[in-house]
Each structure stands twice: as structure tokens, then as C-alpha cells.
Structure 1
Amino acid sequence: MAVGVDTFHAGLVAPRPLRRKLAQDLDCEACVIGGGFAGLWTARALARRGFEVVVIEAGRVGSGASGRNAGFVGPGYAEPLDGLIARVGLDHARELWALSRDGVELVRAAVHGGRIAGVEPVGGHLVVRRKDEERATHREADRLRRQFDTPVDVWRTREVRGVLHSPHYFQALHFPEAFHINPLALAFGLAEELERAGVRIFEDTEALRADLNGVRKHVATGGGRIRAKHVVLASGVPSGRVWPAVTRGVIPVSTFIGVTEPLGEKLYAAVQFPGAVSDMRRAGHYFRRIAGARLLFGSGITTRRSVPGGLTGTLAREIGDTFPDLVGAKVEHAWAGTMAYAVHRMPQIGQIKPGVWLAAAFGGHGLNTSAIAGELIASAITESDERWKLFAPFGVVRIGGPLGRIGVQASYWHMRFKDRMEERRARNASAHRTPMRGEPAT
């Protein structure tokens, strides 16, 4: 039985049989609720510290956002640096950013050892501008290097357009330490590593209710009850049955991904950069070349969870608009990926009450931040490490139910409109500017 059969990722990895469903009562030291990256990394970190761990997953391992995303691994959070600094100050922001880089290295160590089949890491990430703002690009690179100890290079417009044949792109920040992978292969590989280490994983096992008071917690499922000293809530968009307040503080946000037909040399001419690419808009495009000379291309942010009609055609038009050489390219696979966002756009990581831990709301940046969340929680449980308190300013804030979701959607529409207006003004200004000596006409 395959997982996520509507995604292209699933076709690149061998299908796994359905794991058994919990059908008895169990005792363990730690019960992890959720079989996505947050749960898998936390279980891994605890198991490596000698803990007896049970993982329960309502669906299949990797069937949620963890196995359906674009596979970009790089530093940072959904909240941009300016907002992070404004919220907690420069020194605190530096510590949080350093943790995000630690998460990248945890993933790198897992995928570059050759032990996980099909993960196929490819280095480099270009973050491109769709406005001609070379000075701002240099300022951002200088800040990342000087204040956040992050290797980053500035690519000028000529360099960017030398590898991305699009009239929409200008300067870029190049992150050489970032990389991209098949995320579903990583989820499968982590789960299999856990089972070899003695961690018990149960699929099709939803947490229906829980008693999280007292020294010994109780988590009830349809087939049995788990008694544990520690419970970790690590599901992407919590069901609300275990800890309702957490669900009220998380909103599901979807983005859409498509994979083209094989494009042959036409793709390699249009997209010569082999790494990951995203643009700097608030709700922009992101893409990478993948197996078989295909382009994986992501776009859009919405609070609706259903797949809109005509999605393959919409994505094909956006690809053609971005890359004139790819006009007419067909999108053969398309799907929605639902992420969990908090109102402050930062992960919710930490202790809710004694023995109850939360790792959720990674906001589309879960590959690196879920890895560090697992380490922070495990080290807190086993070593009294208090680094998780760096995330204390970003606690559970109630979204506001359906009206809150409408507000979030309206804010995304506003951001997209603002992006379009800023790009239009930048194009008009660029069209009337005289190129400097040696600068290519754009």
C-alpha cells in the first residue's frame, strides 16, 4: 500500500506496507503523537538517548505535509528576520537563527551518509528577487554574514539570468549550505531507522482522547491505550481531541505543487541551476529540477484545503509566464500540501505542562526546524536543557476560528496584491533607468 500516491515523490520510492494498528494497551517512557517529521525526529532523538518510545500516527508515516512538500532544506523560519528581530531583539534572533542552521546540519548528517534510499540530496538554494534591488540584496547578505554567521553569496542579475532564463528575475542570495531532497524518502528512512532501534510505530492509530495530568499520562486510541511519562504532540495540524487549545492556535494553510512532463534539454536550457530556487515574494514561486528532466514547481497560499479545479493548467501557465522557453510545458502531476501556521509564523516548540511537549506549526519550514525541535525536546526531557525556552515568546495564540481563517486568507490576498504593485513599479523604474557602464540592459 503506497503513501501519498497523488504526489510525484511517491513514484520515486518503493511503496511500504501498512504498519500495524495499535490493538493493545502499552507502557513506555515517551508517547509521540504524529508520524511526520516532528514526531520522527523527536522519537529519534529520544531513542538515541536510551528512551523507550512509541509513535502513533492517525494515517501513514509521511502522508501529511512531511511527505508532500518541495523538499527544500535551509536555514530560517516562516517569519522573516526583520519581524524576528523586532519581536525578540537581535541577540535572541541570532540564537533562534543558529538553531535553524543546526536543524539543517541534522538533516544533512542523516541524508548524506547514504543510508536512506531515494533521498537524493542536491546542494544550493537561490533566493531570487523579482525587483531590481541590488543594494538591498547586498545589505541582506552582509547582515546574514556579519550578524548571523551564515555563508551567503550575492548573485547579480547577469549571473542569475545566466542560469535562470526568466525576464522576471534580478539579483539573488545564494545559500551554498542549503540543499533539496525527496522528503517522502527521508520520512520513510527515518521511520525505518527508528524501528531498527526498537521504536514501535503504529499507523492508522489516531489519538482520540488523553489524560495528561499526573506523573503517568494516558493516551487512548480506538484499539488500545498508551501509558507514558512523557507525551509529545507532534502532529502538523492537531485534531483537537488531545489538547484543544493547540488546535485553536494553528491554522492549516495549503500551497500547490506540480511536476511537468519530461522536458529534456529544454528544461536544462531554461533552468541551468541544479539546486532549489524560490523568489522573495510573500507568496511566491519555488521550484527545482527533479528526476527525468522534469520541473517541480510550487505556487500559491490559501486557507482552503481542497485542490482547485484546473490546477495543472494553472501551474502550467505560471511556469510559462516565468520561463518563456517553457511555454506549453504540460504539468502531469499536481497536489496540495497543507502546512500548519501559527499567527506569529514561528514554530510552537516547548513544554505545555510537566511531561507534555509540543512540536507543531512549522509554517512551510519544517524540514530544518522539525529536526531541531526533536533535539530540543529530547535534550530537555533527558538533560534538563532549557534551550526550548528560546521559543517561549511564540506560544499558542488563538487564531479565532473560521473568522480568523478568513482574516488570514485576506492578508495573503493583500500580500499578493502588494507584491504585484511593487513589481510593476520596479519594472517601470527599471525601464526608464539608464544602465551603468558594463551593466546588461534588462
Structure 2
Amino acid sequence: MTRGRDRAPPWGGADTASFWQAEAADVVAHPPLRGVVEAEFAVVGAGIAGLSLALQLALAGREVVVVEESVPGAGALGASAGIVAPQLVRTTPARVLARLGREVGGGWLRLIGESGGHLFDLIREHAIACDARPQGFVAPARGEDAPRRLAMVVEQWRPFRRDLTVLDAAAVAALTGTAGYTAAVLDASGGGVDPVRLAQGLAERLVAAGGRLFHHSPATALDREAHGWRLLTAGGTVRAAGVVLCANGGNHRLHPMLRETVLPMRIHELVTRPLSRAMRAAVLPHGQALTDLERDIFSIRWIAGDRLLTYYPVSAHATADAVEIAVNDRLRAMLRYHEPVRIAHLWQGVAWMNSSLLPRVVRLDDGLLAVQACNGRGIATNAIVGREVARILLAPQSYRPQIALDMPRAVRGFALARHLPNVLLHGARALARLTRR
């Protein structure tokens, strides 16, 4: 491994393309929106929520238009790790039920529990080539009380799903090749995908089903009309009876009630160069994805080409050498078997968070909904949320949805809170370094 001191920073900043984006085949080009287009439904954003929602509407024979600021997979989805994790974020089923009640909370828990299977079924049904890996998701934890804590969480899930297993320390080590964890939850419905190829595949199926997709058409304004909505883009207009905003962190630009409702958490992901057969056999040999439950988050998964994908917080001025050394130091500490890795690609992604850390679908007006915040679990949850929103739109009087439509909720103390996710991530990393000394 090169140890020089003057290699340039390993990434170009927030605009650096992800590994998936850089490696993606040429996307099928769709023109920007020009002139006036009429439709029954308009969807803003060609991410997982927007595309899965629009596809369901098109398959039902309804007129749907999707406007996308860039191309499918260019936003937060394409910069993600591609992990399918049908789990809650920093909470438990019992807390969700206490906060939302049995009916609303139970609906969300059933939906999240179903989300991994739904996503992989969707991929199979539409024959989307996106390196789908439905081998499962592992969420390990440290500490003497971890077996008890995780067993309690799995028991709380039992009324809503039965595909979770608690692993003891020996089983975690054997299944994952990691060191130091005392227990884990194995979610058989999780796994991983190439998120850009997934988005491209959904977009192709949408158009084949009769939906219309416009690239490079950022939505700029939204106005109420007598019989629906007028959605303005940089080059044209969509008139629709119903509109769903699925641009996540960009939704606030179109409606004032969505301002200060989500927080960005910046995450650095990296992909290694191809690794040896010995490393491949020792680390996650059965192909599951792993993200632990510690504050100092450790996350790994294999992707095509025997490459390892992991997360590591990177300062803007860090050199390539410094990052590579730090990543290897961490892998050496976390894995039972380690060989030096070389970084092939490093980029910055973003997970949009809200105050509840649960998915949120909000009703802003008659015929106007918004899907808000993926909370780092967007690939699984947004696909099934898109399905649910489509079912609501297709049968508003008869369908009994598993989700309850909410009102927008501003994050208290937004000016300071917007920096909190990143402070916590870097603070946890610093604390972990101190405690290991």
C-alpha cells in the first residue's frame, strides 16, 4: 500500500458520482418536459418511491407523468450503499406502538416487515437486472446485555413478522467473519442491490407500461387550479388531478409546509478494488449485508466483482493515503481475517431524516401528497410506501391502507438540528477511537 503524504484527496466533494453512477451503463434518454402535458397523476422525483408508485399507477392503466431533476438514480438513491434493511432506525416496535398507537403503529410495522420481500418480489416480477442479493441483512451489537436486548426486540416484532432470528456471539462470528459482537438480529428478508440499475429498471418498466418520464426537468413551482394542480418545471407544465412529491429533501421547494421537516445526514461510502478468494470466503461468506447497531456505525457488504463496500467518515481535507490507512485499521479491528484493501471509489451520499425516524406520508391538500424521509432505510421502505400510496390513489374510497396519512411536522430547532446527524456520526467515531486506546 502506498504511504506517500501528498496524494490528493480521494474524492471531489459532494458532487462526486457514486460507484454505481460511475459504473452504470448509458441510461435510456428521455427528453425534458416541454409545453403543457395533461395527466391524471403527476409524480415529482424518479427515486424508489416515485418510480414504484408511478409504475403501479401505469400498470393499472392510469395516466401518470414523472418529472425528474436529472435522471433516475442520480440523487440520494444512487449515492446509497444499496443495502436492503427492512428494520427500524434507532427505535423498537414497542416504542413505535407507544407513540403511534396499535392501529397506526401496527400498520407501519407490518409494512416495514413486508418491505424487503416486496422489493425482491418486485425485482423478480419485472426481471430487473440490478445485482439483487436477497441473502439477508445482519444487525449485530456489542455488550453483555445485547443478547437480551435483541431477543426482546425480535419478540416485539412477532405479531407483525416471523422472519427474524437472534444470533449469539459464536453464530455472529461464523456467519459474518466479524469480531467483538455478542449478538445480532438476522433478517432473512434483507440483502442488497445496485441502486442505480434498480432505478433504471423501474424507469424502463414504467415507460413500457405507458407512463411518461421526463429527464432533466426540475420542478420549480406548484399551483392549485380549479380541478387539480399545475406543476411547473424548467421547460414546461403538467396539469394533473393529483400530485405526489417524492423528491425527499427537495420537496420543501414546492410547498411551504415541507420546509424544515427533514434533516440531511451526510455519509461517505467507499468501494474497494477486487479482493482475494480468502477474504471473500472469510468475510460475510454467505452474502448477507451488515450494518451494526452501535453509535460508531460499521457497515459492509459484497458487490459485483468481489469488491467490498463499507462506510467511513472522511474529512474534506483528508488525503487518499490517510483514508486508506484509516479504513484498513478499522477493518483489521472489526474482522477476524484481514488483508490490506485498496480504495477504488469514494463518494458522499445523504440520508434524509425526520424527527420520528419513521417513514412519513403527508397530506398537504386535496390531491396533494408527499413522501418524506427515508431515514437511511429508503430502498426497502420507499418501494412499499410507493405501492401503498398507489393503492390509496387508485381506490380512495374503498382501500384500507396500512399507513396513516400524516401532517407535516417541522423539526424543532431546525437551524441547529440540521447539523446534528453529522456531528453525532463524527463524534461517535472519535469516541470509539479513544475507547479503543
TM-score by length of 2: 0.86
Return closer, same or farther for 1:5/1:197 CA change in 2, 3 Å cut-off.
Answer: farther
Partner of 2:303: 290
2:149 aligned to 129, 133, 136, which one?
136
* Distance apart, 1:357 and its partner CA: 0.8
Partner of 1:258: 270
For 1:218 and 1:225, the matched residues in 2 are separated by: 7
Are 2:331 and 1:319 equivalent residues in the alignment?
Answer: yes
* Distance apart, 1:201 and its partner CA: 0.7
Partner of 1:387: 401
Partner of 2:375: 363
Q: Secondary structure at the match of 1:345?
A: coil
* Matched positions, count: 415
**Residues 155, 174 of structure 1: 8 Å contact kept:** yes
- Structure 2 matches for 1:25-424, cutoff 5 A? 25-81=36-92, 82-90=94-102, 92-113=104-125, 115-132=127-144, 133-145=146-158, 147-238=159-250, 240-271=252-283, 272-300=285-313, 309-310=318-319, 312-313=323-324, 314-323=326-335, 325-326=337-338, 328-384=340-396, 385-387=399-401, 390-392=404-406, 395-412=408-425
* Distance apart, 1:232 and its partner CA: 0.7
For 2:17 and 2:330, the matched residues in 1 are separated by: 21
The one-letter code sitting in structure 1 at the alignment partner of 2:148 is R
**Residues 127, 277 of structure 1: 8 Å contact kept:** yes
* Distance apart, 1:167 and its partner CA: 2.6
- Structure 1: any 5+ residue segments left out of the alignment? 428-442
Partner of 1:8: 19
CA RMSD, aligned part only?
Answer: 2.8
Partner of 2:3: none
For 2:210 and 2:183, the matched residues in 1 are separated by: 49
For 1:344 and 1:139, the matched residues in 2 are separated by: 21
Return closer, same or farther for 1:404/1:158 CA change in 2, 3 Å cut-off.
Answer: closer
**Residues 90, 357 of structure 2: 8 Å contact kept:** yes
The one-letter code sitting in structure 1 at the alignment partner of 2:357 is R
For 2:157 and 2:65, the matched residues in 1 are separated by: 39
The one-letter code sitting in structure 2 at the alignment partner of 1:33 is V
Identical pairs, percent: 26
**Residues 253, 339 of structure 1: 8 Å contact kept:** yes
Q: Secondary structure at the match of 2:248?
A: coil
The one-letter code sitting in structure 2 at the alignment partner of 1:203 is H
Summarize deviations over 1:315-368 as a string: whole Å, max 9, x none. Answer: 343323322632531121111111211122122213211010111211111112
**Residues 112, 121 of structure 1: 8 Å contact kept:** no
Partner of 1:435: none
Judge which range, 132-141 or 372-381, deviates more. Answer: 132-141
Judge which range, 76-85 or 148-157, deviates more. Answer: 76-85
The one-letter code sitting in structure 1 at the alignment partner of 2:223 is D
Partner of 1:440: none
* Distance apart, 1:9 and its partner CA: 2.2
For 1:5 and 1:417, the matched residues in 2 are separated by: 25
* Distance apart, 1:419 and its partner CA: 7.4
The one-letter code sitting in structure 2 at the alignment partner of 1:143 is Q
**Residues 316, 331 of structure 1: 8 Å contact kept:** no
For 2:423 and 2:82, the matched residues in 1 are separated by: 27
Partner of 2:11: none
The one-letter code sitting in structure 2 at the alignment partner of 1:151 is D
Judge which range, 309-318 or 182-191, deviates more. Answer: 309-318
TM-score by length of 1: 0.85
**Residues 107, 402 of structure 2: 8 Å contact kept:** no
* Distance apart, 1:26 and its partner CA: 0.8
Q: Could you say which structure has the greater relative contact order, defined with CA pairs below 8 angstroms and 6 or more residues apart?
A: 2
For 2:16 and 2:133, the matched residues in 1 are separated by: 22
For 1:85 and 1:167, the matched residues in 2 are separated by: 34
Summarize deviations over 1:183-208 as a string: whole Å, max 9, x none. Answer: 11111100000011111111111111
**Residues 166, 324 of structure 1: 8 Å contact kept:** yes
Return closer, same or farther for 1:23/1:317 CA change in 2, 3 Å cut-off.
Answer: farther
* Distance apart, 1:12 and its partner CA: 5.3
For 2:241 and 2:78, the matched residues in 1 are separated by: 29
* Distance apart, 1:412 and its partner CA: 4.9
* Distance apart, 1:144 and its partner CA: 2.5
Return closer, same or farther for 1:167/1:216 CA change in 2, 3 Å cut-off.
Answer: closer
* Distance apart, 1:135 and its partner CA: 2.7
For 1:315 and 1:114, the matched residues in 2 are separated by: 37
Q: Secondary structure at the match of 1:363?
A: coil
Q: Secondary structure at the match of 2:259?
A: helix
Q: Secondary structure at the match of 2:34?
A: coil
**Residues 119, 183 of structure 1: 8 Å contact kept:** no
Q: Secondary structure at the match of 2:118?
A: helix
Return closer, same or farther for 1:242/1:138 CA change in 2, 3 Å cut-off.
Answer: closer
Return closer, same or farther for 1:293/1:148 CA change in 2, 3 Å cut-off.
Answer: same
**Residues 237, 247 of structure 1: 8 Å contact kept:** no
**Residues 231, 239 of structure 2: 8 Å contact kept:** yes
**Residues 259, 410 of structure 2: 8 Å contact kept:** no
For 1:52 and 1:131, the matched residues in 2 are separated by: 54
The one-letter code sitting in structure 1 at the alignment partner of 2:374 is F
* Distance apart, 1:417 and its partner CA: 7.1
Q: Secondary structure at the match of 1:339?
A: strand
The one-letter code sitting in structure 2 at the alignment partner of 1:309 is A
For 1:186 and 1:72, the matched residues in 2 are separated by: 12
For 2:413 and 2:331, the matched residues in 1 are separated by: 36
Q: Secondary structure at the match of 1:349?
A: strand
Return closer, same or farther for 1:90/1:327 CA change in 2, 3 Å cut-off.
Answer: farther
* Distance apart, 1:219 and its partner CA: 0.9
